[in-house]
Amino acid sequence: MAESPTSGPLNVIREGDCAVLKRDEVFKAVSVLKRRKIIFEKQWFYLDNAIGHIYGTTFEVTSGGSLQPKKRVEEATAETKEAGTDNRNIVDDGKSQKLTHDDIKALKDKGIKGQEIVQQLIENSATFRDKTEFAQDKYIKKKKKKYEAVITIIKPSTRILSTMYYAREPGKINHLRYDTLAQMLTWGNVHAGNKMIIMETCAGLVLGAAMERMGGYGSIIQMYPGGGVVRAATNCFGFPESFFQKLYEFPLSKVGSLLSGTFSFEASSSETEGSTPLADEDDRSLDEKQLSVQEADTECGTEIPMESCQPEEQEMADLPSDGEALGNDKTKTTVRMHDKQRKQEERRKKLTEAAALLKDKDADGLIVASRFHPAPLLLSLLEFVAPSRPFVVYCQYKEPLLECYTKLREKGGVVNLKLSETWLRNYQILPDRSHPKLTMSGGGGYLLTGITVINENLKTDDCSEQKTEEPASKKRKLQDP
Amino acid sequence: MSFIEYSETIKEGDTAIVFLGHESMFPVKVQQGGKTQTKYGVIRHSTDLIGKQYGSKVTCSKGGWVYILHPTPELWTVNLPHRTQILYSTDISLITMMLELKPGCVVCESGTGSGSLSHAIIRTISPTGHLYTVEFHQQRAEKAIEEFREHRVDHLVTVKNQDVCKTGFGVTGVADAVFLDIPSPWEAIGHAKSALKREGGRICSFSPCIEQVQRTCLALEEHDFTEINTLEILLRVYNVRTISLQIPDLGKAAGDNSSADLDAGSQSNQDASCTNLHQGAVQFKSGVPLREMVAHTGYLTFATKCLF
């Protein structure tokens, strides 16, 4: 077999890994750490025993919160049992189950495994035999879910993390549904070797998805609002260090000066250090407030990874204030000073590099997915994109994208504009019982996609309307009553 | 030009996309001395295309103009010569994400068909991955090989002319993902399982009929696949239109000035949707759904090959 030599060891769960816990359709991102209690789906346990096992292993939670790998057991469902033909004789009187709550609790306390509890429940159910075969299936499935404490540990991926975020914390990712994210990656032609510009406020999920698709080849410039980049979700992917070498960040607040040609790092740093410290202070505290509000609504879902990623996060958020702290506080040890200076130097270098990358105006694509109005972002960031390259704008609402569409048509320099959304439906597939699931997501957000072209409108400085906004005949038709 | 790497200028041998406007476009093979007819007149390759930047506006002989675009798998999907039914980008996007494709992945696909999905897979797994694609129709397989060569991605793909249900993919234990778009996918699940890596991987089967899905799901269960999940994705496109609705005349009560109120209200609201009141009508921008849309392409069934 021609397996790649690295595939083996890479798939072992190691201490310090970013992993995802899975129980049925529920996910939770965690850091694999020893002696750390994890609470997931009303169960608590430690991951210590999982270390050394292979990703994809299913574990059973045993007493004391330790994990035991679960062997796949062939269930004795082959034997045909008695079953009723319909439910005409089944009455919901609450008396069919002979085991009481206390009985079940006693079984659990005795350390009886979930599978056996389910078996006992079946044996003590007065109506189980009268249920139809289908209803029996359903009953077993339901009870299993409740009493079998099994979790699977899997590797994080865009598929897993985008599904997890959409289910648990949609507010943090602007309600970007996973299939919409899938469309963005495709329509943005995100692939190895690209130079991408990404502006998102989706906790770094869109950035992470793009990084996964680029596999460390090419470069990404992340545009950020306020005090610093947010990469809580990005850090859940567990990317190797090398993926971050060609990841740059550039503040949105400097886009204007970069476009007008007045940008210089010296100017920007003096700005933050001296000239307008008060305004800067205000800005930052506002951002921090916003950040803390966001953090407050954290559910347990990503709590752990956020915690574990905190040091790095904080460092990034703190960086802009380094200059001030350096100037004001002279009690810091020289070692600390040195460290800070080195860090600041590094940051300055990377910012200069990011500015240079943008100034080339030859990016291979632009992705916008933020809580801000997309029109100003799109209009200025498109300046940095080469001709004949795709761009994708996500918005939770349709109306701002209508405005983007109109403004882009006026400005020119883009073709093939398309406003769309996707509709996603899950199915239950069972022999003779296939149908769509009972509920579906009502909306996953809207996308505006297009392709840049050389804008001759701008070249000749002739911004007069060369193209009508929409086909004249259709316009007339719609306006006529 | 290649389908996996952008280049700045148009060169001889490139496949370029001629964009005429409003989703009207076609592909062209750029050749020294070549000529292409459009409804706006002739495009002369040597003078109009070669050496020009992708994204340029080209004026045709009758004075009309077109844009020349760099090919991408998505543009190819709407421009390729159909030899079969094809998968479109909406389904392709979901397939790519749910199969967890990324650079370096090894993927098995059957059938190749017209190569719409193949191009998208190759783009995503480049520069270090590989696609093994199996097509039982000989001419289609040959045509696919030719296209991959023209699009300069042939080093990333192996095309085999065989029946996947009978002989499988011709590789074992190497694939991270398998995709099936064949009439009886349940007959190929065993082959798919052996093509996947020992430690596991993802599979997707695309079928238009629910009966096919049912049989496929049973086969997946028999082969111990887990996380079996069937879904369907549809694209809703909106046309951006300026709509104008007349304000009905309800007559005026003495001293009442309701139309003026409405006027003032909509003026202050102007930013939101460019509302304009003129001569008893309100104008606004709207995203109007298409009169008819694609309602079904196929069901996508995903599953994971389990480790144990």
Q: What is the pLDDT of residue B215?
A: 97
Residues pairing with B23 in the sheet: none
Number of Cβ within a 10 Å radius of residue A45: 22
Would you place residue B8 in the very low, low, confident or very high pLDDT band (cuts 50, 70, 90)?
very high
Would you place residue B162 in the very low, low, confident or very high pLDDT band (cuts 50, 70, 90)?
very high
Q: What is the pLDDT of residue B23?
A: 81
Q: What is the pLDDT of residue A380?
A: 96
Give residue for tokens 């991102």. Answer: A29
Using an 8 Å Cβ cutoff, are B68 and A157 in contact?
A: no
Q: From CA B25, how far away is CA B17, in angstroms rounded?
A: 7
Which chain A residue has its CA at the smallest distance from B104's CA? A215
Q: What is the pLDDT of residue A169?
A: 96
Quick check: B73 and A419 CB within 8 A? no
Map out the domains of chain B with their CATH numbers: 15-71 (3.10.330.20), 76-234+296-305 (3.40.50.150), 238-254+272-289 (no CATH)
pLDDT at B271 over 60: no
Residues of chain A with CATH 3.10.330.20: 13-155
| Chain A interface mutation, best of B238, B246, B306, highest count of A Cβ atoms under 10 Å | B238
B2 is in an annotated binding site: no
Q: From CA B153, how far away is CA A334, in angstroms rounded?
A: 55
Distance from CA of A301 to the nearest CA of B (A): 21
CATH fold group of domain A172-265+301-313+352-459: Rossmann fold (3.40.50)
Residues of chain A with CATH 3.40.50.150: 172-265+301-313+352-459
Q: What is the pLDDT of residue A301?
A: 39
Q: In this complex, is the C-beta atom of A181 within 8 Å of any C-beta atom belonging to chain B?
A: yes
| Chain A interface mutation, best of B3, B6, B130, highest count of A Cβ atoms under 10 Å | B6
Quick check: B172 and A1 CB within 8 A? yes
B301 neighbourhood in chain A, CB within 8 Å? 429
Q: What is the pLDDT of residue A43?
A: 86
Which chain B residue has its CA at the smallest distance from A214's CA? B103
Q: What is the pLDDT of residue A22?
A: 94
Q: From CA A397, how far away is CA A462, in angstroms rounded?
A: 32
Residue bearing the bigger pLDDT, A90 or B56:
B56
**Among partner residues A157, A178, A364, which is closest to B6 by beta-carbon distance?**
A364
Q: From CA B288, how far away is CA B239, in angstroms rounded?
A: 5
Q: Which residues of chain A have pLDDT under 50?
A: 1-8, 76, 78, 267-328, 460-481
Which chain A residue has its CA at the smallest distance from B101's CA? A213
A277-296 and A303-328 helices, crossing angle to 10°: 170
Which chain B residue has its CA at the smallest distance from A431's CA? B214
Q: In this complex, is the C-beta atom of A455 within 8 Å of any C-beta atom belonging to chain B?
A: no
Number of Cβ within a 10 Å radius of residue A369: 26
For chain B, what percent of residues have pLDDT higher than 70?
Answer: 91
A446 neighbourhood in chain B, CB within 8 Å? 238, 287
**Among partner residues B22, B57, B232, which is closest to A454 by beta-carbon distance?**
B57
Quick check: B307 and A434 CB within 8 A? no
Would you place residue B71 in the very low, low, confident or very high pLDDT band (cuts 50, 70, 90)?
very high
Which chain A residue has its CA at the smallest distance from B304's CA? A56
CATH fold group of domain A13-155: Vcp-like ATPase; Chain A, domain 2 (3.10.330)
Quick check: B97 and A178 CB within 8 A? yes
* Least trusted range by pLDDT, from A131-145, A422-436, B168-182, B189-203: A131-145
Using an 8 Å Cβ cutoff, are A387 and A459 in contact?
A: no
Q: What is the pLDDT of residue B56?
A: 96
Q: What is the pLDDT of residue B267?
A: 46
pLDDT tens for each residue of B13-51: 999 999 998 889 999 999 999 999 999 999 999 999 999
Q: What is the pLDDT of residue A407?
A: 97
Enter the ipTM. Answer: 0.93
A191 neighbourhood in chain B, CB within 8 Å? 4, 103, 123-124, 126
What residues have CB less than 8 Å from A48, skipping those under 6 apart? A34, A35, A66, A67
Q: In this complex, is the C-beta atom of B280 within 8 Å of any C-beta atom belonging to chain A?
A: no
